[in-house]
Amino acid sequence: MSGLKPMDAEQLRENAHKMVDFIADYYKTIEDFPVLSQVQPGYLRDLLPDSAPTYPESLQQVFDDIQAKILPGVTHWQSPNFFGYYPSNSSVAGFLGEMLSAGLNIVGFSWITSPAATELEMIVLDWFAKMLKLPEEFLSAGQGGGVIQGTASEAILVVLLAARDRILRAEGKEALEKLVVYASDQTHSALQKACQIGGIHPENCRMLSTDSSTNYALSPNVLNEAISNDIAVGLVPFFLCATVGTTSSTAVDPLLELGKITKSNGIWFHVDAAYAGSACICPEYRHHIDGVEEADSFNMNAHKWFLTNFDCSLLWIKDRNALVQALSTNPEFLKNKASEANLVVDYKDWQIPLGRRFRSLKLWMVLRLYGLENLQSFIRNHIDLAKCFEDLVAQDSRFEIVTPRIFSLVCFRLLPPHNDETYATKLNHDLLDTVNSTGKIFVSHTVLSGKYVLRFAVGAPLTEERHVLAAWKLLQEEASALLAPL
Amino acid sequence: MSGLKPMDAEQLRENAHKMVDFIADYYKTIEDFPVLSQVQPGYLRDLLPDSAPTYPESLQQVFDDIQAKILPGVTHWQSPNFFGYYPSNSSVAGFLGEMLSAGLNIVGFSWITSPAATELEMIVLDWFAKMLKLPEEFLSAGQGGGVIQGTASEAILVVLLAARDRILRAEGKEALEKLVVYASDQTHSALQKACQIGGIHPENCRMLSTDSSTNYALSPNVLNEAISNDIAVGLVPFFLCATVGTTSSTAVDPLLELGKITKSNGIWFHVDAAYAGSACICPEYRHHIDGVEEADSFNMNAHKWFLTNFDCSLLWIKDRNALVQALSTNPEFLKNKASEANLVVDYKDWQIPLGRRFRSLKLWMVLRLYGLENLQSFIRNHIDLAKCFEDLVAQDSRFEIVTPRIFSLVCFRLLPPHNDETYATKLNHDLLDTVNSTGKIFVSHTVLSGKYVLRFAVGAPLTEERHVLAAWKLLQEEASALLAPL
């Protein structure tokens, strides 16, 4: 054997201390980088060799390459000037949890492969359900329970499969082509992808129209009508995905009314609160998920706006058996006493992959090292900053707020001169492009009722009022420059 | 706003240094823990509070709880005495890569969200393909390319979906119920799960019988016959999953002959080398994937036996468009110049979830900090240790080697006294239970042709000859004790 000692404790100690300093220094200087990477497609190919090295290189060489070649190609999601998409915020606690998880490097597919991984996940998901005041049926003590998925896409997929297989067990598998899924046209594209994967016919996916009259929330009447039409022609409604905090504009579907409809029609009701779920730990925002009592499953991403490093998507379900019946396998080589005796949860049967990381550690550490009260303040602060930005936009008559702000996202646009709506898209597209090209901030966009709209999402862990003010100043300046020649 | 500074660079530095020491100390003392956790189901519930804390706790309190409450519930996959399942080995380089990935905490779904994440992944997968001498069509320069999936389960699922949708585009979606999947009965349960998810009818999944005459490899004749029978009754063969290194016994399916059959029948040919793929970087083991030229897709897990911390499953595909056509979405809020101009790869369209971590960093660091030559020695050393164990077993007439050892797994069992085969299962089950209950080693099991068989897989990063010798001694002692009263 060569001299390679791949897991020598002292080598780990020495080198990992260096990595800690590298990462701490990165955060110290994070504002010096362009927020949105400014490299050109294919930039890295010429900077790296064509093949893996035959002999070892030093950690210093790797650090030098990270600094010179990798960091220029990074879009800095943790920068205080990152206002694009939704946040994916990190924290010291979340980072420490990731370190420990990577250090232990267990693969927790079955309880026996590390009981603590399964049990801590159950406990912490129960804690979180209580913080959100979810109904008791979502707790692990009864027939339900929580599980950490990688992403909301996977959460939607697994509940869609649970719902699909539940109805196919009742109706026979030939019914697949008759199954109909409902959601608003604001629903995340993950639903469409889940339908495609699960073999739901694309023409049976009802992406129901919304508009500004409901602030882009799904109308119960529209849903009712769609269901009636489908039943009339012999189709089988089976799944509704409602959203609390849509990706484009934080629209909130009316859960209570939608839930009554799904209940009376025997439809699986999933609530996707990937982004806005975090806000619901504050009593004053909890009402946005009123009606979750009616839901069969509920999802929020702790990795978005809850300081838990990516990935950590929380899914609760009332009938865990539905999930297990759709996703379980029981090969001989994984059989063990605890599983056979049905004494334990084996999370492999609640998810797509077999293997899984010890992700509950980071969420547990976020909750313990910060505490509920600090976490509520953290959310409120971001919402206050978004409100501050909204007020600034509202004071500048060249701009308009496109939908009322609900959480920490502001949807706005530059009004086209002379109400020239055909010019509006180009103008706002150019504004987006110009500000992002400065590298000083990163903002993203969407389209609402045909309008090209800028999205300003507050949520990075280092964002303070001064960053929001500077971002607004930059937007104003670039807007002035764009409008000047007209 | 409260005083919470969730991403303060100096707080990160101070606390992460403590975590480094905690993890380094863990590795220093890892042999002191029972390898298989000895806790009882539900042990943790009583040790932790019922709800999340309102106020912050200290890092020291968390460390104390990890030591006292979490570690007893951990099964120590990195222990040198872990011989169960297949390894999921970690390394200093892999750990450093995880740290950096968690530190940057980017979400690399589209190129623009961190160009370096996409481009490094393409480059490192090209490096790896060259190390394995995969055919050129798997490299990113042509129509193919590599991608990091979380697990082999996800790799199998995405290629099954790509194959399914390719044939349904040709045959019409009504053909779904006629699609037939082929594999040996030794194939990982992930295939069955993927079929279930993708709506392949269970009665159209041909898990073809194998036995000791081929050392549990799939016979081309058996495959040919099955395909002919299915075509004769109007079914549509569309997918073969072959395995190089099956989970039970490291059986190697004959890729070259199987590939000819799939080619002449227009069947998608996937090769799952999740475990044994790592060995194929050594010239003397590369012949086990001869015939991969015929495959449409190929998968191996760098997180199993390649020192790259979990998760990191490598998938190559010859026709990346097939994957993208099955899995792409294009919502407005993610549109950007580089993607619209088709200048870049957006890996979101190669996988189930939308979000993805910067996982290529850890693989890149493993390759650079160790180098190909050291990695080959590392693999060879484990195979030598397994051979050493095999020799020891062969010398003890109370035991038998059940299948010839090919890589670093030894399948063996205790022979029942008086050839009492009905007693053999209980005897070996008891032996497994007894040795695992000591906490000194962890070994797992399988069943081959009705025989209950013990599996001894060498692959943890700290395993040395002395650990293998001690494990054998323990097995012999416990066997003597079990046999004594007879």
Residue-level pLDDT at A3: 67
- What DSSP string describes A404-471? ---SSEEEEEEPPGGG-HHHHHHHHHHHHHHHHHHTS-B-EEEEETTEEEEEEE---TT--HHHHHHH
Interface test with B, best of A10, A69, A99 (most B CBs within 10 A): A99
Q: Is the pLDDT of residue A105 over 80?
A: yes
Q: Say if B57 is an interface residue toward chain A (CB within 8 Å).
A: yes
Interface test with B, best of A243, A368, A378 (most B CBs within 10 A): A368
Residue-level pLDDT at B4: 86
Rounded to an integer, the average pLDDT of B265-281 is 98
User: Is residue A371 assigned to a domain?
Assistant: no
Residue-level pLDDT at B55: 98
Contact across the interface for A330 and B377, Cβ inside 8 Å: no
Cβ density class B341-359: b for 16+ within 10 Å, e for less: eeebbbbbbbbbbbbbbbb
Q: Is residue B297 a contact partner of residue B315, using CB atoms and an 8 Å limit?
A: yes
Comparing CB atoms, the residue among B61, B94, B100 nearest residue A19 is B100
Contact across the interface for B153 and A352, Cβ inside 8 Å: yes
User: Which band of pLDDT confidence, cut at 50, 70 and 90, is reported for residue B486?
Assistant: low
Contact across the interface for B75 and A114, Cβ inside 8 Å: yes
Rounded to an integer, the average pLDDT of A449-462 is 97
User: Is residue A280 assigned to a domain?
Assistant: yes
Tell me the shortest Cα–Cα distance from B268 to chain A, in angstroms: 18
Q: Say if A330 is an interface residue toward chain B (CB within 8 Å).
A: yes
Q: Say if B190 is an interface residue toward chain A (CB within 8 Å).
A: yes
Comparing CB atoms, the residue among A37, A56, A131 nearest residue B374 is A56
Beta-carbon count within 10 A of A397 CB? 7
Show the CA angle centred on residue A434, arms to residues A82 and A398, nearest 5°.
95
In sequence order, the 6+-apart residues with CB closer than 8 A to the CB of A429 are: A445, A452
Q: Is the pLDDT of residue A172 over 50?
A: yes
Contact across the interface for A102 and B95, Cβ inside 8 Å: yes
Contact across the interface for B114 and A37, Cβ inside 8 Å: yes
Rounded to an integer, the average pLDDT of B15-34 is 98
Q: Say if A157 is an interface residue toward chain B (CB within 8 Å).
A: yes
Instruction: Tell me the pLDDT of chain B averaged across its residues.
Output: 97
Contact across the interface for B52 and A128, Cβ inside 8 Å: yes
**Euclidean distance between CA atoms A347 and A147, whole angstroms:** 8
Q: Give the containing element (helix H, strand E) for B100.
A: helix B92-104
Q: Is the pLDDT of residue A434 over 90?
A: yes
Q: Say if A120 is an interface residue toward chain B (CB within 8 Å).
A: yes
User: Which band of pLDDT confidence, cut at 50, 70 and 90, is reported for residue B47?
Assistant: very high
User: Which band of pLDDT confidence, cut at 50, 70 and 90, is reported for residue B485?
Assistant: low
Any idea which of A331-335, B101-105, B314-318 has the lowest mean pLDDT? Answer: A331-335
Contact across the interface for B310 and A105, Cβ inside 8 Å: yes
Q: Is residue B178 a contact partner of residue B235, using CB atoms and an 8 Å limit?
A: yes
Q: Say if B369 is an interface residue toward chain A (CB within 8 Å).
A: yes
3-state SS, residue B415 = coil
User: Which band of pLDDT confidence, cut at 50, 70 and 90, is reported for residue A4?
Assistant: confident
Q: Is the pLDDT of residue B3 over 70?
A: no
Q: Which domain holds residue A134?
A: 107-357
Q: Is the pLDDT of residue A302 over 70?
A: yes
**Euclidean distance between CA atoms B275 and B186, whole angstroms:** 14
Q: Say if A130 is an interface residue toward chain B (CB within 8 Å).
A: yes
- Residue whose tokens read 């619209």: B340
Interface test with B, best of A61, A111, A310 (most B CBs within 10 A): A310
Residue of chain A with shortest Cα separation from B126:
A51
Contact across the interface for A371 and B54, Cβ inside 8 Å: yes
User: Is residue A200 assigned to a domain?
Assistant: yes
Residue-level pLDDT at B14: 98
Q: Which of B173, B194, B175 lies closest to B183, judged by CA?
A: B194
Q: What percent of chain A has pLDDT over 90?
A: 96
Q: Say if A16 is an interface residue toward chain B (CB within 8 Å).
A: yes
Residue of chain A with shortest Cα separation from B149:
A353
User: Is residue A438 assigned to a domain?
Assistant: no
User: Is residue A268 assigned to a domain?
Assistant: yes
**Euclidean distance between CA atoms A426 and A416, whole angstroms:** 9
Phi, psi of A390 (to 5 degrees): -60, -45
Rounded to an integer, the average pLDDT of B14-24 is 98
Quote the tokens at residue B235. 């079914």
CB contacts under 8 A, A 377-416 vs B, are 377-378, 380-381, 384
Q: Is the pLDDT of residue A422 over 90?
A: no
Contact across the interface for B330 and A89, Cβ inside 8 Å: no
Q: Which of A441, A153, A449 lies closest to A274, judged by CA?
A: A153
Residue of chain B with shortest Cα separation from A346:
B41
**Euclidean distance between CA atoms B240 and B223, whole angstroms:** 9
Q: Is the pLDDT of residue A1 over 60?
A: no
Q: Which of B327, B163, B315, B155 lies closest to B237, judged by CA?
A: B163
Contact across the interface for A12 and B4, Cβ inside 8 Å: no
CB contacts under 8 A, B 210-229 vs A, are none
Residue-level pLDDT at A407: 98
3-state SS, residue A329 = coil
Residue-level pLDDT at B421: 87
User: Which residues of chain A have a CB within 8 Å of the CB of B44?
Assistant: 115-116, 119-120, 123
Q: Is residue A334 a contact partner of residue B84, using CB atoms and an 8 Å limit?
A: no
Q: Say if A100 is an interface residue toward chain B (CB within 8 Å).
A: yes
Question: What DSSP state is assigned to residue B36?
Answer: S
**Euclidean distance between CA atoms A82 and A379, whole angstroms:** 16
User: Which band of pLDDT confidence, cut at 50, 70 and 90, is reported for residue A485?
Assistant: low
* Tens of pLDDT, residues A31-52: 999 999 999 999 999 999 999 9
Rounded to an integer, the average pLDDT of A109-135 is 98
Contact across the interface for B173 and A44, Cβ inside 8 Å: no
Contact across the interface for B19 and A100, Cβ inside 8 Å: yes
* Tens of pLDDT, residues B144-171: 999 999 999 999 999 999 999 999 999 9
Q: Say if B437 is an interface residue toward chain A (CB within 8 Å).
A: no
Rounded to an integer, the average pLDDT of B387-393 is 98
Contact across the interface for B88 and A154, Cβ inside 8 Å: no
Contact across the interface for A52 and B128, Cβ inside 8 Å: yes
User: Is residue B190 assigned to a domain?
Assistant: yes
Residue-level pLDDT at A167: 97
* Tens of pLDDT, residues A5-38: 999 999 999 999 999 999 999 999 999 999 999 9
Any idea which of A315-324, B102-111, B131-140, B418-427 has the lowest mean pLDDT? Answer: B418-427
Q: Say if A46 is an interface residue toward chain B (CB within 8 Å).
A: no
Q: Say if B48 is an interface residue toward chain A (CB within 8 Å).
A: yes
Any idea which of A332-336, B1-5, B380-384 has the lowest mean pLDDT? Answer: B1-5
User: Which band of pLDDT confidence, cut at 50, 70 and 90, is reported for residue B422?
Assistant: confident
Tell me the shortest Cα–Cα distance from A455 to chain B, in angstroms: 9
Contact across the interface for B24 and A10, Cβ inside 8 Å: yes
Rounded to an integer, the average pLDDT of B42-61 is 98
- β-pairing, A451-457 vs A444-448, is antiparallel
Q: Say if A161 is an interface residue toward chain B (CB within 8 Å).
A: yes
Comparing CB atoms, the residue among B50, B78, B197 nearest residue A161 is B197
Q: Say if A352 is an interface residue toward chain B (CB within 8 Å).
A: yes
The total number of structural domains that make up chain A = 1
Measured between alpha carbons, how far is residue B173 from residues B167, B182, B235, B326 in Å?
Answer: 9, 20, 14, 13
* Tens of pLDDT, residues B443-478: 999 999 999 999 999 999 999 999 999 999 999 999
User: Which residues of chain A have a CB within 8 Å of the CB of B365?
Assistant: 62
* Tens of pLDDT, residues A45-71: 999 999 999 999 999 999 999 999 999
Tell me the shortest Cα–Cα distance from A191 to chain B, in angstroms: 10
Q: Give the containing element (helix H, strand E) for B240.
A: strand B236-243
Q: Say if A456 is an interface residue toward chain B (CB within 8 Å).
A: no
Q: Say if B349 is an interface residue toward chain A (CB within 8 Å).
A: no
* Tens of pLDDT, residues A255-277: 999 999 999 999 999 999 999 99
Q: Is the pLDDT of residue B2 over 70?
A: no
**Euclidean distance between CA atoms B159 and B145, whole angstroms:** 13
User: Is residue A425 assigned to a domain?
Assistant: no
Which CATH number goes with the domain that contains B294?
Answer: 3.40.640.10
Residue-level pLDDT at A256: 98
Tell me the shortest Cα–Cα distance from A125 to chain B, in angstroms: 10
Contact across the interface for A103 and B176, Cβ inside 8 Å: no
Q: How many A×B Cβ pairs under 8 Å?
A: 501
- ipTM exceeds 0.90: yes
User: Is residue B466 assigned to a domain?
Assistant: no
User: Which band of pLDDT confidence, cut at 50, 70 and 90, is reported for residue B419?
Assistant: confident
